[in-house]
Amino acid sequence: MVLSNAKGSIPLYMQIKELLVARVTEGEWAPGDIIPSEMQLSRELNVSQGTVRKAITELVENNVLVRRQGRGTFVATHDVDRALFHFFHICNDSGTKTLPESKTLSCRKKRASRQEASKLNLSNGAQVVYIERTRNLDNTPTIIETIILPNSLFVDLGKRQVRNLPNTLYELYETQFGITIHRAEEQLRAVAATENDASLLSLEAGTPLLKIERIAYTLDGTPVELRISRCSTSRHYYQNTVL
């Protein structure tokens, strides 16, 4: 890639931003890696340190990179904190947020339904990994989750780890499959608990549940996970901050 500072061209710092993103998405720099210093990059690209800095600043705001003063700049990773603060929104009534324990019920391969395929941008009838689990909050089963993944990206996940899945899946995606979740869209509705829901959460059928349908995307915009959660909100709620 060649940078251009001609008259009508895109600003230098934006071109640098693209270039840095490319190096992350293409795996040249993996999550957790330190990237070259601002000075090194500025020399390599023949621009000033401040210009590199502006590009990096915006990527830090997008949660792509992380800066540590005196140490360097790193590619963001999916540690537990990030999972908890960015992607998990259920609090208990006293307002505290804890990562729930998970009990995997099943993990198998199947063909995607028409809807699932469309939401994950797959061709009709493509193979998907299908995971069902319940999650405990404050020692009571509170959430039922159905997770649907393109089998092409998560090869052998169905076979290998049948009921041995870790609690924080996004860390697994990143470390085992090189897939980093960058953003997600969530659609929330209120639904009635089915008989099955009711028995899993030990409450009565028809009880209102909060249904969260999440599609998670990588940095380059590919949808890679469809996750449907049904939560009992008798002692918990979904927390959202509007800025």
Partner DNA sequence: TAGTTTAACTCTTATATAAGTCTTTAAATG
Partner DNA sequence: CATTTAAAGACTTATATAAGAGTTAAACTA
Q: Which of residues 17-46 bind DNA (CB under 7 A)?
A: 36-40
Q: What is the DSSP letter of 58?
A: H
| Closer CB to a second copy, 99 or 188, in the complex | 188
Q: Could you give phi then psi for residue 51, rounded to 5 degrees?
A: -70, -45
Closer Cβ to a second copy, 154 or 170, answer by number: 170
Rounded to an integer, what is the distance from CA 10 to the centroid of its chain? 30
Q: Is 12 in the site for DNA (CB under 7 A)?
A: yes
Number of Cβ atoms within 10 Å of the Cβ of 35: 19
Question: Rounded to 5 degrees, what are φ and ψ at 73?
Answer: -115, 135
Residue numbers 67-86 binding DNA by CB under 7 A: 67-73
Q: How far apart are CB 69 and DNA at their closest, in Å?
A: 4
Both tokens assigned to 17: 């931003």
Number of residues in contact with a second copy under rule CB under 8 A? 33
∠ CA(146), CA(147), CA(148), 5° rounding? 125
Among 188, 198, 203, 228, binds a second copy (CB under 8 A): 188
Shortest distance, position 7 Cβ to a second copy, whole Å? 17
Backbone angles phi, psi at 76, to 5 degrees: -65, 145
Between CA 156 and CA 12 the distance in angstroms is 43
Tokens standing for 95? 């307002």
237 binds, among DNA, a second copy, none (CB under 5 to 8 A by kind): a second copy
Q: Answer with the entry of DNA, a second copy, none that 54 interacts with (C-beta below 5 to 8 A by kind).
A: DNA
Residue number with CB closer to DNA (50 or 208) = 50
Q: Which of 25, 32, 33, 53 binds DNA (CB under 7 A)?
A: 53
Contacts of residue 178, defined as CB under 8 A and 6 or more positions apart, other chains included, come to 27, 30
CB of 158 to DNA, least distance (A): 40
Give Rg (Cα) of the chain: 21
Q: Which residues bind a second copy (CB under 8 A)?
A: 61-63, 86-87, 89, 91, 183-192, 206-211, 214, 231, 233, 237-243
Q: Which residues bind DNA (CB under 7 A)?
A: 5, 7-8, 11-14, 36-40, 47-51, 53-54, 67-73
